[in-house]
Amino acid sequence: MDQDPFDQLQVTTHGMANGGEAVARAADGRVVFVEGALPDERVTVAITAEKKRFLRAKAVEILDASPSRVDPPCPHVADGCGGCGLQYATPEAQRQLRLGMVRDALQRLGRIPDPLVELGPELPTDGYRTAMRAAVQGGRAGFRVAQSHDVVVVGSCLVSHPLVEEILVDGRFGAAHEVSIRVGVGTGERMVVVRPNAAEVTVRADVLVVGADQLAQKRAWIHEEVAGRRWRVGADSFFQTRPDGAEALVVEVGRAAGDPTGLRAIDAYGGVGLMSTALLGAERITLVERSASAVADARVNLADLPVKAIRVAVERWHPSNADLVVADPSRAGLGKAGVDVLASTGASRFVLVSCDAGALGRDAGLLVEAGYRLERSVLVDLFPHTPRVEVVSTFTR
């Protein structure tokens, strides 16, 4: 730090940034992003990084607390675990904060003056995660400290499903540096993928253990039950981190899509095929996905449905004409290349599933430039206790 006066200071916060940090202003006018604070609090902060236009800081003392502040329910927050960045706010306050992040991103990045943003169904806040990636230290699983490579080994996890928590706490993972845990609540199946290999791994006998070094030669998967269907999910395939949230997404995407009967529909970034089930009745459904593992799963999962799964990156796909597009990209969003390709289908209705508020704001602006209008966005609250969002947005031409 090159300026001692900025080592510690008092600020009053006035908002929440996309990553879950409160926003304040220093005396010199620079924005201060404060870890561990809520909006409308007066706090003493320690500066952790100084840039020309902004500062990053960590709250060290809450001088005037928000009415929404609570003691974090998980003891590992005090140990520095960075897995859940909003446990110090009530669940309802968290929902409002995430809603505000989405609205701000649409206004500031998407330049949409008065976006309609609504809360979706309220989902359980504890014991919900059925997929989780953890760091390994000394053979034990844990989570990294925020903005650090340090690992907090955990003896419990507030947000993990019991079938996950048992592996997380009791598993021993040898010399590995990372483990991914995935379970199927509807089937009871469990799997861990250990990086770099599965040497000296000890877990319960019912857990399928796969080394990352084996995945090039060995296919491995579990099954989950969502929306009345059984889903094969490969070790290299993406699936939502909670089945009730996956079902809520399918319902909301179906509402946003409207009646697909007789339409030509595109399921872009279609993964293992979950969103295609919201489009049943369409004359034709084309699923576009770059992951070989996910496309193989989708072809199994949707074998009884009129869905054609194509393995190609959306940005390199030569689009066919369509009436309706559903797109569920990664956290980076569609970007200009994705918007250009999907808009060129001529679809009059576009349903976008976003898992990052900033990406949603940028994509919304690009879709508006391509001739679409945002009707509404619905926050499907898949990640309680964190600043992460999942949003279903409806655009029409």
Identify whether the C-beta of residue 276 lies closer than 8 Å to the C-beta of residue 352. no
- Quick one: which H or E segment has residue 178? strand 178-183
CA separation for the pair 285, 121 (Å, rounded)? 27
354 strand-pairing partners: 391
**Cα dihedral 142→148→150→154 (10° resolution):** -20
**Exposure of 378 by Cβ count < 10 A (0-12 exposed, 13-18 middle, 19+ buried)?**
buried
Sign of the CA dihedral with 369 first, then 372, 375, and 380 last:
negative
Tokens of 331: 């956290």
The pair phi, psi for residue 82, each rounded to 5°, is: -100, 15
Distance from CA of residue 338 to its chain's centroid? 19
Active-site residue among 81, 84, 157, 355? 355
Between strands 264-268 and 324-327, the pairing is: parallel
In angstroms, the Cα distances linking 93 to 18, 67, 127 are 15, 10, 19
Provide the 3-class DSSP secondary structure of residue 73. coil
Tokens 């309802």 correspond to 92
Tokens 């953890």 correspond to 134
Identify whether the C-beta of residue 35 lies closer than 8 Å to the C-beta of residue 24. no
CA separation for the pair 364, 360 (Å, rounded)? 6
For 44: left if phi > 0, alpha if psi spans -120 to 50, otherwise beta; the answer is beta
Specify whether 74 is catalytic. no
Q: CB count, 10 Å around CB of 309?
A: 24
Catalytic residues: 355
